[in-house]
A and B are shown apart, each in its own frame.
Chain A
Amino acid sequence: MVLASLFAALTAAGAYLAIPIGPVPIVLQNLFVFLAGLLLGSRWGAASVAVYLLAGIVGLPVFAGGTGGIGRIAGPTGGFLLGYLPVVFLVGRLTERRPASGARDVAAMAAGALLLYACGAPWLKLATGMPLSQALALGVLPFLPGDALKIAAAAVIAKSLRPLMRMP
């Protein structure tokens, strides 16, 4: 429970923690969502993200920009936020109870990233009224290189941290 809360807090803090690489700084929020799936597994990973979303929905300032409230869910990025829940479950499901393998971790996170885009882009289209091609161009394509880097970094971090984690 403490680790699940910790990853929920990391997901909240991840919106502010940015690494300046290239013209678009990399925000660490989905890196921590991927790590929650890899290190906590599907059940506790999903619990962690669900509590994070609940905290945001009831108004705690855990979403990007230090705000919370149902407004962020109804806004253009709401699909990406809600998408974290199936993503963490999928990443956890694909990697838990199996021998640790970097290739499997990367494949699971790549599947998770695709699922996140599948949740986020249509929501962005609905919230803004723009065509799907524009929503993909604005909400998916600019983030592909950053997400590839995050997946690679998360695989390295997960490999190093697994011995430290004592999940029930």
Chain B
Amino acid sequence: MAELSTPHRRWTPARLDVRLKLALLCTASLASLQMQLYGLLGLLLPFALLAIARRASLGARIRELRWVFWILALVFAARALFTEGAPLVSLGPVAVTRQGLQEAVNACLRLALMFVLGGVFIGLTPTGEIKAAVQWYLRPIPGVPAARVATMLGLIARFIPVIFAEAARTSEAQRARLGDRRRSPVGRLATFGLPLVRRIVLSADRLALAMEARCYSELRTEPELAARGRDFLAFGLGLAMLAVALAV
């Protein structure tokens, strides 16, 4: 009988009710706009360590996020070079100012915090639960078809791997026909994009037919969302952390 009984699941931050997690994420994103250096560092470091600890390979994570470093570098350079104030170093017509450096560090930490919090959230939450939480939040808004939006979110998650598989197939087929040697850039774009979108539209058509054939409707049985005392306690602790980060 042991295998028929529900296994005891230990509560961890990953099992925090997804609606509270989402609310905490949005609050943190908004609060970070008012935080200063120490508050931002105090929040960023533990979550960055958590994000790193959850990855098997730090190198792979850094490779995946290399574009984030480019964005941070752009924001840092722009803030440091174009903010007026007392100059520290002159670089030809522009100068790095003390105020610019402060602004640059704060802006980069704010962005990094939002990236890290988003990464931790997505790493700790199954897509189905996020979909259910979005539906729960949208339901009271008049004129917004919450169930349809949730279904569309599910379909996006289903289509993305299909698109990548089709894109790889199309690209290989183009290379086999020397399509990558075509000189006209519009021709190269069209010969890649046209078969790709055509195939995917046809596969979407087949999916729509299959859904109709199975009487698919937007009224699905969604994952059960339940917030218990421990969830509210964790939420309260999260809010307290944000309040401290705002105060320092």
Contact = CB atoms under 8 A, between A and B. Distances in A.
Contacts of B11: none
B189 A149 contact: yes
Interface in A1-58: 1-6, 8-10, 12-13, 16-17, 19, 21-22, 26, 28, 31, 35, 47, 51-52, 54-55, 58
Interface in A129-168: 129-131, 134, 138, 149-150, 152-154, 156-157, 160-161, 164-166
Given A128-B75, A130-B78, A160-B198, A26 B130 contact: no
Interface string A53-73: 011001111101111111110
Contact of B111 (A62, A74, A154, A161): A74
23 contacts: A1-B152, A3-B201, A3-B204, A6-B201, A9-B159, A10-B163, A26-B185, A60-B157, A65-B67, A67-B68, A69-B114, A69-B121, A70-B114, A74-B29, A75-B114, A128-B78, A128-B79, A129-B79, A130-B81, A153-B189, A153-B193, A156-B186, A157-B190
Given A70-B118, A164-B201, A5 B155 contact: yes
B89 interface: no
Given A65-B64, A156-B194, 15 more contacts: A3-B201, A9-B158, A9-B163, A21-B188, A51-B152, A68-B118, A69-B115, A69-B122, A129-B78, A129-B79, A134-B78, A153-B186, A157-B197, A160-B194, A164-B198
Given A2-B155, A74-B29, A157-B197, A69 B202 contact: no
A71 to B, nearest CB: 3
A60 B152 contact: no
Interface in B51-81: 64-65, 67-68, 71, 74-75, 78-79, 81
A75 B156 contact: no
Interface string B136-176: 00000000000011011101111110111001000000000
Interface in B103-129: 103, 107, 110-111, 113-115, 117-119, 121-122, 125, 127
A161 B201 contact: yes
A100 interface: no
B82 A130 contact: yes
Interface size for chain B: under 10, 10 to 19, 20 to 34, or 35 or more residues?
35 or more
B192 interface: yes
B155 A71 contact: no
Contact of A134 (B82, B153, B164, B194): B82
A70 B29 contact: yes
A77 B148 CA distance: 28
A122 B79 CA distance: 15
Given A10-B197, A31-B193, A58-B22, A75 B71 contact: yes
B141 to A, nearest CB: 12
A79 interface: no
A103 B118 CA distance: 42
B156 A9 contact: yes
A66 B115 contact: no
B211 interface: yes
B233 interface: no
B36 interface: no
* Pairs A-B, 5 closest by C-beta atoms: A69-B118, A71-B114, A9-B159, A5-B155, A128-B78
A8 B152 contact: yes
A6 B82 contact: no
Contacts of B95: none
A2 B167 contact: no
A69 to B, nearest CB: 2
Contacts of A150: 189
A1 B194 contact: no
B186 A35 contact: no
B117 A66 contact: no
